Structure formats: structure tokens, C-alpha cells
A and B are shown apart, each in its own frame.
Chain A
Amino acid sequence: MLRRQFIKNTSLGAAGLLVKPNLFAAETIFGHNNKRYRLNTRWSQADVGRNPVNDCHEMVQNSQGNIMLLTNEVKNNVLVYDKSGKLLNAWGSEYPGAHGFTLFNENGTDVLFICDNSRHQVIKTTIDGRVLLVLDYPKETGEYTKAEEYVPTETAIAANGDIYVADGYGKDFIVQYDALGRYIRHFGGRGTGDNHLLNAHGVCIDARDPLKSTLLVTSRQQNAFKRYTLQGHYIETIALPGAWVCRPVIKGDYLYAAVLQSNSNQWKQSGFVTILDKNNKVVSNIGGSTPGYTNGVADEMYQTIQCFSYPHDVCIDDEENLYVAQWNSGKAYPYKLSPVL
């Protein structure tokens, strides 16, 4: 039945083509409102034999405008692309649990922070991979008895250089250090309070209000972001029903996040990408349900188009293109999405 239907549709399409070719060539546009995109699944020009990837965890754009990818493939933990997808450089073989990838401009120089799940460490490097600082498991907190309990997933660096580490696969604490790696405090952790976290998978500095920077933290299994002051005081929860959000990424007025999967369809490659405006309102879901609100509460969100498997991070470049890295998705290279103007 399906086969016959498919052939029928195809021949109809072909017939229609003779009359009005554009009908058939219509491109799929993803997303909603003013955040709509065309998808290119073949952006990467890397040679799979020479520069393979495993899980593609996170991506950033550096000051040169190039796109950097972190993967847990130890043949090349970091791939450096230009915006067109041409591979420029590859480095790193010592990060078997490469997961979190944050770029910080330190007095005019790009530095990177890598969270390694397997090494239970955070490693600060130069832009080409020279190690500058290693943060071991935070004994100082009194919460950990051994390195294995600490599985950092993400870092965020404040304007003053303070380092915030999210222990998203460990005990869900946010551990704050100064720029030199000296422990300041920790907060979050598991529990039943609003200030607690469950799968604190990502963290970022929200400086959209220039007078009042805050910290946004993912609570992925609670399908939410939680906002704290830079001193760790809980402010609010941004509920995103149905969405297993990975790290929050802020560009301009908007917050972007890869959604690993839909709560309603777990462990079945049901991910999408969500975009929130500066009022924390969902304005677009790429590959996901049309955003809606009922009595001020976001409607449950879910995948509607199977264009991604398990998106894990989204990077927004200086031209508003998106790059999506995916976890456990058949060793797929990142996809690129270009805005529809």
C-alpha cells in the first residue's frame, strides 16, 4: 500500500513537473516565525577516512570566524572548519571523553575549555590545543570522595574570568572557580527544591542585560533552564515541557539550544533545535512542533520532522547560520542551517 502510494505520488510529481517545475523543487524550510532555516546535511567536506568523528558534542566559532567541533574521536578531538565546510585543521588525541567545549576571549586571545567525561577533568587550552590549566575533581567542595563521581559536561566563563563548571553527568553541582582555577563556591546539586538540578548538562553566561549578567544552567531531565545570579542564588526556572535541552547558547537577543530528544518519544532519535527570544518565549523549533502557549505555559514540545537524530549542540556564526552537532547519530558530521530572510 505504502509502496503503491509512493509511486503514485512520485509519478504525479513528475507529471506536475512538466507544467510547473518549482512545485517539485520546493525546498523544505525548517523552524517558525522569524527563525526559519534551510538545512544542509552535507556541509562538512572532511574526509571520513582521514578525519572521522564519533559523537559530535559541541561547536564554537573562533575569532578568525572558523567553526570548531569537539568530538570524542581520539584520532582528532578537534576539527577546525571554515564556514563553507572546508576542513582547515585537526588536533587533539588525549580527550577520550571530550564533551564540553567553550571558547573565551581572554584579553584579546582565544582560549578553550574542554570538559572530559572520562578523565573527570576540565582542561584549558590555547586555540591550537596547548594545555594551559587542568582542573581536577573539586575535593574542596566536600561533596566528592573520588574523581569518578565528578563527570563535568560544560563550562561557562564570566567576563572577570571566573570559571563555572557544570557536573552534569556527576552530582549536578555548578562549581565556581576564579580565573586561575581556585575554588570559590558550588551550588545547585540534586534535590527537590527549585534551586536544584537534574542532569545539569550545560551552563552559560547570559549578558543580554548588560547591567545584570546571570548564569543559565540546563536541568535536562526536568526539561528546563534555571537562572542563577553569578553568586549562585537561584532566580527562576524557564520550563520547556517535553524538551531535553542541552546547553543554552546565546547570540544576540536569542537563546538557542539543541534538544537531545522529545520527552514523549525517548531514546528514539527524537531531537530538534529550539530558539527562545529574550523574554524566554519559544519562537521556533527546528524539526519540532509549532511553539504554542496555553495560559502562559509553553505547550509540550516534540519532534515533528526527523531531520536530526540526537542533536547535542548548536553554534551560531557571525552571519546567523547555525551548525548542529549530534550525539550517537551514526558518526554524522555537523549539519549547517542558513537563515531564510
Chain B
Amino acid sequence: MVKAIVLFLCCGLCVGASAQNVFRLAPPLLQYQSVFFKKSMEVYMRFAQPGTSIHYTVTGAEPTEDDAVYTTPLTITTGLSTIKAKAFGGGFLPSTVVSATFINDGLPVIATSQSTPHAKYPGNGNRALFDNAGGVPNTRSSYWLGYQRDTVSVTIYLQRKQPVKSVLLNLLQDHNARVYLPQQVSLYYFDEKTNKFNVCFSNSFEATEVLPGSEAINLVLSINKIIKAGTLKVIMVPVQSLPKKHPGKGNPGWLFIDEIKVY
């Protein structure tokens, strides 16, 4: 790599060109109504820069120039499809990757009750967690419910008692803004016979890193046994103490959640 750069610079000098910067392309635009969809979602890509093209994948792999060139809008019909796109050409370095993961609608939810979010991040009304809107990786987006407390509890009332396989949580990760994934997540279902909530998923995460950027992350809580449920409860513990590497170390972190899907 170093050799290649040296060679490159020498060549520039040999022909007497003024010292030129080699610029990188900006990422192309992915445009869609929402990452949440019922039947399908149209995805448009834009990059109005002469001599360049957008290459994309739907497999999750990083696009190369050998991958498909975008020409017409894509129609997404499969849940958890990830589109990754990148701009190439025009004599510039290729762009960084832009990506979006699309989430299909889940089982009908009639109501939810959740811990009261922080006054600064109230989300978009009572149905914010099930409104199929948002998924924008930006703390300033109004779709997010923001929490900074001991535990966050969300009770989900399904239309009827039915088999449940998994629950998806659409969460924000923006470490510089102190927004971390929860340090612990548990999922419960209500058992009418015993009149109790039984745990059917539990996992802990350790916050040690301070990663750059802002990203919407889909956490899928897969249930390993066959259950039938009409009421579910998700308990999340926001990061209580930011990691040592973080400028705000020791202070509580934030939990941002936009949407929950039950499958």
C-alpha cells in the first residue's frame, strides 16, 4: 500500500502536475419511506455525479465494482433484508458503504404500556413502538424513545394468544452521543395458568468500546421453545456506567428504541 502511494505521487510529479489531492466520493443516497414495511418497500438510490455508478448488494456483503449497478428502484419484500451501496468511478476513491436493513411487519399488536421515556425524547405518541415509522440512525430524529434509568419495561398485548417465535427490538447505537445497546435484555410471556410472566429469552452485553458513527441495530430475541402467548414483556437495562474509554466514563448511558416487532 505504501509503495503504491509513493509510486502514485512520483508519477504525479514526473508529469509536472501540481500536487493534487485524491478525493473520495461521498456515499450515495438511499431513499425510502421507512425501514419498516408491511408488504413491500421501494428503495431508490441517487448519486448525481458524472462518470460514477452505484454498485449494491442485498446479501450483506460490501459492494465491489463487480456487484450489480443500480438503475431502477428495488422492491424489498423479505424481512431483515440489508441493502449496501457504494459509489465508484470518476477518478475518485470509492465512497464508504451506506446501508439499510428493512424490517417486515409482525403479529398485530393492540396495545402496549411502557416505562415513561425521558422528557427530551418522548418518541411519536402512544404507538411509537409499533407505528412502522422511523428507523433513522440519528438521535435528533423524533421517532426514538430515549431512556436514562434503571430499567425499561415494555408490555405488549397481542390481538390474541398465538405462537410467538421471536421479538425484534430496533435500537440506536451512537456511542459518542452516549447511546448504547442495553446491558441486559429479557423477554417474558404471560402464562394464564400460573398467572405469572415466564422468562423465554435473556442476554447480557458488556459495553466496553466507544465506536464511531450512528447506527440502527436490530436485536432479535429468539425464543428457543414453542410458546403461545397473548401478552409479552420486554425488560431492558440501559448501560448504567459508560466504559472507561468513554469521555463520560462512569456516567449512565442512554437507551434509544424506535420499534418492536413480534413474530
Residues of A within 8 A of B (CB): 1-3, 5-7, 10-11, 13-14, 17, 21-22, 24-28, 39, 41-42, 262, 264-266, 270, 289-290, 292, 299-300, 302-307
Contact = CB atoms under 8 A, between A and B. Distances in A.
A160 B48 CA distance: 43
Given A28-B23, A41-B21, A42-B19, A304 B7 contact: no
A122 B31 CA distance: 42
A289 B49 contact: yes
B interface: dominant SS: loop
A17 B12 CA distance: 10
Contacts of A7: 1, 4
25 contacts: A11-B4, A11-B7, A17-B11, A17-B15, A21-B14, A21-B15, A24-B12, A24-B15, A24-B17, A42-B19, A262-B26, A265-B26, A265-B29, A289-B48, A290-B49, A300-B29, A302-B26, A303-B26, A304-B26, A304-B49, A304-B52, A304-B87, A305-B26, A305-B49, A306-B23
A28 B48 CA distance: 16
Given A7-B4, A300-B29, A306-B25, A292 B15 contact: no
A302 B20 CA distance: 23
Nearest to A299: B48
Contacts of B4: 6-7, 10-11
Contacts of B48: 289-290, 292, 299, 304
Would you list the 4 A-B pairs with minimal beta carbon distance, nearest first?
A: A304-B49, A289-B48, A25-B17, A290-B48
Question: Looking at chain A's contact residues, is the secondary structure mostly helix, strand, loop, or mixed?
Answer: mixed
A13 B92 CA distance: 13
Nearest to B19: A42
Contacts of B14: 17, 21
A275 to B, nearest CB: 16
B20 A28 contact: yes
Contact of B27 (A11, A14, A265): A265
Contacts of A270: 26
Contact of B65 (A5, A10, A13, A265): A5
Nearest to A289: B48
Contact of B20 (A27, A262, A265, A300): A27
A264 B1 contact: no
Nearest to B50: A290
A255 to B, nearest CB: 21
Contacts of B8: 10, 13
B40 interface: no
Contact of B25 (A290, A299, A304): A304
Contact of B7 (A14, A264, A302): A14
A52 B26 CA distance: 29
Contacts of B52: 304
B197 to A, nearest CB: 40
Nearest to B17: A25
Contacts of A264: 29, 31
- Residue with the highest number of chain A CB atoms closer than 10 Å, among B18, B47, B49: B49
A293 B15 CA distance: 40
Contacts of B17: 24-25, 27
Given A3-B1, A25-B17, A14 B49 contact: no
A148 to B, nearest CB: 20
A302 to B, nearest CB: 6
Contacts of B138: 266
B16 interface: yes
B7 A1 contact: no
